[in-house]
């Protein structure tokens, strides 16, 4: 972060439709520097009702845009946390068509932001599965990128058990996109989802074109159990390893389906410092990605150039 962005500022006004939303920000009252891009991560406690979730997301997107964010990212399963795993299959949409995708395109266009919808259930080759897909829309509402979650979460301890492979078909390729505000620098943004965070080779693959990402996104719905143990450690490690910012929008709270998600939506800088974090409940983490800081860190510590394997 730039030094100006490290000063606290008043919380941006919250729309009436999200009176309970919190904001963790490190914004300053000075104009945004030309080498920075303001980003926002939404934290949600999504329900089994798509319409309710879209209304909640709409309020958070509007609040982020009002605070000057050029890129806004939503958490995994933002549109649906069903009572059963199979509920996402019933709600799946064909690629390019459906109310959830229409919503994301319209919101990006309305607010003139890069909007990252993480994640949307899209049709998979198998009738009983979906692709868990991050969809990215530009300020004109056109879709810029799609990333299908590669690594599928499984965990079993006592009465707590998860197996995403029962209802999700994995993706097979890494994806990045370019965020290029007219009044700011270009960012290479790498995409990942939740359990992907445990696989550092995915993030190395994002630099296969010779350029490491400036910003990594990790929309997630980490369980409370695994989140307490590993969430922050893994996020900071990915930032340190890749000398880039990490923005992780999360589900955060007790859901109607009985699931407890860890929350702690975060923005982390290339030195591994937590710039801003929101523990639980709906709200936003807002901060500035500073490309000069990225360049300086990579000059001071040229670890990316020292890779051998």
Answer yes or no: 178 catalytic: no
The CB density around residue 76, as the number of other CB atoms within 10 Å, is 26
Active-site hit among 76, 131, 164, 244:
76
Pairing of strands 215-217, 187-191: parallel
What secondary structure, in 3-state letters, does 254-272 show? ECCCCCEEECCEEEECCCC
| Closest among 258, 192, 251 to 222, alpha carbons compared | 251
Answer yes or no: 88 catalytic: no
Active-site hit among 93, 131, 188, 194:
194
**DSSP line for 5-30:** GGS--PPPPPPGGGTT-EEEE---SS
Active-site hit among 70, 131, 149, 188:
149
Q: Look up tokens 């549109």; give the residue.
A: 79
Can you state the angle between helices 99-111 and 50-66, rounded to 10 degrees? 10
Using CA atoms in the order 269, 259, 152, 286, what is the torsion angle rounded to 10 degrees? -20
Answer yes or no: 76 catalytic: yes
| Closest among 29, 62, 76 to 263, alpha carbons compared | 76
Q: Look up tokens 């930032």; give the residue.
A: 239
Active site amino acids: 76, 149, 194
């Amino acid at each position: 972060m730039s030094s100006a962005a490290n000063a606290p500022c008043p919380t941006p006004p919250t729309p009436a439709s999200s009176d309970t939303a919190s904001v963790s920000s490190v914004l300053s009252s000075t104009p945004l520097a030309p080498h920075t891009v303001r980003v926002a991560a939404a934290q949600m406690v999504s329900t089994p009702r798509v319409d309710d979730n879209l209304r909640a997301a709409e309020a958070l997107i509007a609040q982020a845009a009002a605070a000057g964010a050029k890129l806004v990212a939503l958490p995994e399963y933002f549109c649906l946390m069903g009572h059963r795993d199979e509920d996402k299959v019933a709600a799946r949409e064909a690629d390019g068509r459906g109310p959830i995708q229409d919503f994301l395109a319209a919101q990006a266009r309305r607010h003139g932001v890069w909007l990252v919808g993480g994640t949307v259930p899209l049709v998979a080759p198998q009738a009983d599965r979906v692709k868990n897909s991050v969809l990215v829309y530009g300020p004109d509402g056109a879709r810029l990128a799609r990333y299908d979650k590669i690594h599928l979460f499984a965990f079993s301890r006592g009465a707590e058990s998860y197996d995403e492979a029962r209802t999700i078909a994995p993706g097979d390729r890494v994806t990045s996109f370019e965020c290029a505000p007219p009044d700011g620098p270009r960012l290479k943004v790498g995409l990942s989802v939740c359990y992907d965070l445990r696989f550092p080779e995915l993030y190395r693959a994002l630099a296969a074109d010779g350029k490491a990402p400036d910003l990594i996104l990790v929309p997630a719905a980490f369980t409370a159990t695994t989140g307490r143990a590993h969430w922050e450690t893994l996020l900071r490690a990915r930032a340190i390893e890749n000398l880039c910012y990490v923005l992780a929008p999360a589900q955060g709270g007790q859901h109607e389906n009985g699931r407890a998600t860890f929350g702690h939506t975060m923005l982390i800088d290339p030195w591994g410092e937590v710039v801003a974090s929101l523990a639980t409940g709906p709200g936003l983490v807002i901060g500035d990605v500073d490309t000069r800081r990225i360049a300086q860190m990579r000059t001071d510590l040229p670890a990316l150039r020292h890779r051998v394997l």
